Every structure is written in C-alpha cells, then in structure tokens.
Amino acid sequence: MIVPYFNHEKFTLYHNNCFQVLPLLQEASVDLVFADPPYFLSNDGTTCHGGQRVSVNKGEWDESKGLLENYEYTKKWIGECKRVLKPEGTIWISGTSHIIHIVGFCLEELGFKILNDITWHKPNPPPNLACRCFTHATETLIWAVNDPKGRYKFNYAYLKERNGGKQMTSVWVMTAPREDEKLLGKHPTQKPLQLLQRVVTAASDEGDLVLDPFSGSGTTGIAAWRENRRYIGIEREQEYADLSVARFQNELKAASFFDL
C-alpha cells in the first residue's frame, strides 16, 4: 500500500514513481493535469547559467533512452493520466523540442483533442554559447481535452479581464522563477509560479482537483493552493519531495499570519 508522503486537505504529495501511484487514483476523478515531464536533454552538453558555462545534465531521470523508449515512456504516463482525468478534464504538458513533438503525437494517438499550443516566451534567456543556432527563448505548453466532445472549462472572461480587456493570446511572456520562489531550495527545471497560476485559473474552478505527476519543487501545488484548488502531486526524488513540503508549510505559516 502506498501512503501519501504528506497529506493536507488541499495538498497531498506522494514520494514515489508516478507509474506506481497513478494506477491507485480513482478513475475520472481529476479536473486538470499539469505535467512538466523529463525533457530528455541531459546529454553531457553545456549551457550558460549566471554568465558561466555549466553542464546541462540534471540527473539520471532526464537522460534520453532513445527515440523509441522516450516515446513509450511518454505514452505510458499520459495514458495513466487519461484514465484519472474526467471526460471534460484537460491536460497541460510543458516541453522543449527535445520532447514536445513526442508529447503531441501521444496525445493524438490516445484520443485527446489538442486545444492550444502555448508559447512561453522568456524575455531574458541565457545566451547560446555554441553560436550554431538561435538562442533558446521559449518553451511550449500543449493544452488538450480528454474527450474531444467534452465541455471543458475555459475561464475566458476572467482571463480577458486580467489581460486589460483584451483576448489573451497563446504567447505568454514571463520571466523565469523569481528569487523569492527559490528561497527554500530550487529544482533545475522549476517553473515560475505565475505560469502555473495562469494555467490553474484558466482551466479549472475553485474546489477542483489538480494533479501533477512530476511535482518537482511543488510549484503546481502552491499555485493550486493559492487559487483555492485541491492538489495531488507525485515526486520520486527525496530532495524535491522535501522541498515541496517545506514550500507548502511556508504557505500555511503565511496564511496563519495574515489570519491573525
């Protein structure tokens, strides 16, 4: 029996492999999935960070196993998410060119309907040290609904209001995570809280259940908590499971302080 590593009425975290936990979750119980899966880009190359040349390697979990195994892995975890998603539920998956095309193929193959591909534009990307291609300044988020006929949630009016009365486009300009989001520790592929709050508020309602099968530092959970959603996260690495708990407990302390 797999028990939660941390459990709160609105924030549940499992410290395990997603393939062990997802089959235990109730079918058609989740309103929204956000997944930031391995990009499979840890190939012994280098990149620029803080003006220094550093390794792109992030860990064994991010190493490519070859095209076929990467595809099978991706199709397997998306298939498990499809089972737990409600018919009208939607899934958001982030990625770069290393994985996002496989993701899109798997979604189509598994019967999802792709609604948008969002371009997350980073206004201050690190320079390309090799000078052999364009500087990488974007990531892609694919948004898809489980059942092509499902009446999925899209809080259009809310987003338009937040965007100054204009329709929000599929290009989102946002910086990398701020320093205050990494005070308790950081994850090598950590996403900005602003990005996850937009995803959560765009495609779910208060009280809905949000799932992240690759929880990392728990940013999806923090966004869900701040937007009054319920959260289930799965993270296999001890360091990041502990970081997720620490970040959420910090949120609880802050909430208690403001309630005084």
Per-residue pLDDT tens over the stretch 95-106? 998 899 999 999
| Per-residue pLDDT band at 257 (split at 50, 70, 90) | low
Average pLDDT over residues 231-251: 97
In a domain, 170, yes or no: yes
Distances in whole angstroms, Cα of residue 30 to Cα of each of 67, 96, 118, 227, 245: 30, 25, 22, 16, 21
| Per-residue pLDDT band at 260 (split at 50, 70, 90) | very low
What distance in Å separates the CA atoms of residue 229 and residue 35, rounded to the nearest whole number? 16
In a domain, 1, yes or no: no
Q: Is the pLDDT of residue 25 over 80?
A: yes
Query: Counting Cβ atoms within 10 Å, is residue 88 exposed (0-12), middle (13-18) or buried (19+)?
Result: middle
- At residue 49, the pLDDT reads 54
In a domain, 206, yes or no: yes
| Per-residue pLDDT band at 19 (split at 50, 70, 90) | very high
- At residue 80, the pLDDT reads 98
Q: What is the DSSP letter of 233?
A: E
Distances in whole angstroms, Cα of residue 200 to Cα of each of 7, 45, 76, 94, 205: 20, 34, 24, 14, 8
In this structure, what CATH number is given to the domain that contains residue 55? 3.40.50.150
Domain range for 247 is 6-259
| Long-range CB pairs of 235-240, under 8 A, 24+ apart, other chains included | 235/13, 235/14, 235/15, 236/15, 236/16, 236/17, 236/18, 236/61, 237/59, 237/61, 238/15, 239/185, 240/187, 240/215, 240/216
pLDDT in tens, 77-97: 999 999 999 999 999 999 998
Q: Is the pLDDT of residue 114 over 70?
A: yes
Q: Is the pLDDT of residue 14 over 70?
A: yes
- At residue 255, the pLDDT reads 85
Q: Give Rg (Cα) of the chain.
A: 18
- 211: nearest Cα among 72, 112, 79, 84: 84
- At residue 131, the pLDDT reads 83
Q: Is the pLDDT of residue 55 over 70?
A: no
Distances in whole angstroms, Cα of residue 163 to Cα of each of 57, 121, 167, 174: 37, 16, 7, 14
- At residue 13, the pLDDT reads 98
- At residue 50, the pLDDT reads 55
Q: What is the mean pLDDT of the chain?
A: 91
Residue 244 token pair? 């997720």
In a domain, 249, yes or no: yes
Does 21 or 42 have the greater pLDDT score? Answer: 21
In a domain, 54, yes or no: yes
| Per-residue pLDDT band at 52 (split at 50, 70, 90) | low
Least confident of 62-76, 123-137, 209-223: 123-137
Q: What is the DSSP letter of 92?
A: E
Domains contained in the chain, number = 1
How far is the first Cα of the chain from the last one, in angstroms, to the nearest whole number? 39
| Per-residue pLDDT band at 62 (split at 50, 70, 90) | low
Residue 259 token pair? 């309630």
Alpha helices in 91-171 (DSSP H): 100-109, 156-162
What distance in Å separates the CA atoms of residue 42 and residue 29, rounded to the nearest whole number? 34
